[in-house]
Amino acid sequence: MEFASRAAEFRPSPVRAVFETAMDPSVVSLAGGNPDLSVLPGGDIGALASSLLAERGGEILQYGSGAGTTPLRDLVVQLMSRGGSDITSADVLPTTGSQAGLDLVTKLYCNPGDVILAEGPTYVGALGVFGAYEVDVRHVEVDEHGLDPQRVATALEQLAAEGKRVPFVYVIPSFQNPTGVTMPAERRRELVRVCAKRDVMIVEDDPYPLLSFDRSGPLPSMHGMDPEHVIHLGSFSKIFAPGLRVGWLVAPPEVRGRLQIAAESVVIHPSNLAQSLVTSWVGSEQWEPALDRAVEFYRERWQAMKAALEEFMPEHASWTEPTGGFFTWVTVPGLADKDDLLRDAIEQGVVLVPGSACYSDGRSSDAVRLAFSGVSPVRIREGVKRFAQIL
């Protein structure tokens, strides 16, 4: 039996494709955006899981509500208030990781042939989601302050002139994946105005806002500025543990209700154990100090990567200067001419994400995404050195 037409658009993520290679200890992985988990006390977290199951096992192991657990939703209300969102637990839908939330939003809004505006470059995983719904992605190039709302307005006008339906703009405002750049508050406000005026939703994918190197609070979220026109995707993967697969979305009431129905038809409900463990840990007094330590690692690692880039990169190379998060975007003129950058890199013992993977059309790119979050400073220096050797 033939597959459906959409199957032609299923694309393996290049990060996932090198997942096994990246586990090889002889290889330096600058590919995956892995959080540092050495700050997590496995024994304490195990003890939390143990007491949850001993005390409420009958409830946690049984079917749960498609709306998610109330304690987790209450916790998200608190977290979202840091970015200026004034919501109640009824506005929150826990998801099996935030990418599952993006899948649901795309499923709800996008017909085949619709256009999504996204940053250029954007998160490779999002391109996989959009492809599966046969959506066209148009990129608006970012600068050092992220997406420029005026460029978005121009793109939306052009797409309207082409008769294209644009259900939403997909944007990662804080420490963007893959460039590490952050949209200032004023740009966020202007983007909200631009999109609301045209009845285009904003999907704000925001897994990194608490990871500012200087430990300043998050910038105001676009959701907080205009909750009727913004769907917010959040994640516990970068502030606790990706292996549990817990994220959330916040959306206007009717939209949230539809998304819950769509979610229930796929997973019935999010894992109770994962939700409970996240609630216990992130709700504990140990969470924020551990996060502080992790962010201190990220800051040191970025410093190590910056030093290595300055030491090993050719003179004409350039890179973004993230103030938080996991990534920098390194541009080396001429890199696009390489036949198979990733193969060459793996041969040198380093993995990374080629820039072309971050564009829906797979255009050639002079850039790569380097992740510094999950690797020690010594290994970062070695990885950048190996990367320099293929240039």
Q: Is 363 in the site for a copy of itself (CB under 8 A)?
A: no
Bridge partners (DSSP) of residue 318 are 331
Q: Is 292 in the site for a copy of itself (CB under 8 A)?
A: no
Q: How far is the CB of 133 from a copy of itself (least distance, A)?
A: 8
Q: How far is the CB of 318 from a copy of itself (least distance, A)?
A: 29
Binding a copy of itself by CB under 8 A: which of 91, 103, 206, 366? Answer: 103
Site string for a copy of itself, 10-39 (x = CB under 8 A): xxxx--x--xx-----------x-xx-xx-
Q: Which residue has the tokens 């959040």?
A: 234
Binding a copy of itself by CB under 8 A: which of 3, 161, 285, 339? Answer: 3
Nearer to a copy of itself (CB atom), residue 186 or residue 264 = 264
- The per-type count for the chain, helices as H runs and strands as E runs, is 14, 13
Helices (H), the chain: 14-17, 19-23, 42-60, 70-81, 98-109, 124-132, 149-161, 185-197, 222-225, 253-267, 272-282, 287-312, 341-348, 377-389
Nearest in space to 32 (alpha carbons), one of 243, 263, 291, 226:
243
Question: For residue 15, with 0-12 CB atoms within 10 Å meaning exposed, 13-18 middle and 19 or more buried, which class applies?
Answer: buried
Binding a copy of itself by CB under 8 A: which of 25, 26, 43, 162? Answer: 43
Rounded to 5 degrees, φ, ψ at 93 are: -125, 110
Helix (H, G, I), strand (E, B) or coil at 30: coil
Q: Is 238 in the site for a copy of itself (CB under 8 A)?
A: no
Q: Is 325 in the site for a copy of itself (CB under 8 A)?
A: no
Q: How far is the CB of 181 from a copy of itself (least distance, A)?
A: 23
Q: How far is the CB of 57 from a copy of itself (least distance, A)?
A: 3
Binding a copy of itself by CB under 8 A: which of 75, 79, 92, 100? Answer: 100
Q: CB of 368 within 8 A of CB of 355?
A: yes
Q: Which stretch binds a copy of itself (CB under 8 A): 49-57, 73-81, 327-335, 380-388?
A: 49-57
Binding a copy of itself by CB under 8 A: which of 27, 110, 142, 249? Answer: 110
Nearer to a copy of itself (CB atom), residue 13 or residue 318 = 13
Q: How far is the CB of 222 from a copy of itself (least distance, A)?
A: 15
Q: How far is the CB of 18 from a copy of itself (least distance, A)?
A: 12
Helix (H, G, I), strand (E, B) or coil at 5: helix
How many residues comprise the chain? Answer: 391
Nearer to a copy of itself (CB atom), residue 49 or residue 185 = 49
Kindly write down the DSSP assignment for every residue of 160-179, as one continuous string: HHTT----EEEE--SS-TTT
Residues 122-181 that bind a copy of itself (CB under 8 A): 125, 128-129, 131-132, 167-168
Q: How far apart are CA 275 and CA 273, in angstroms?
A: 5
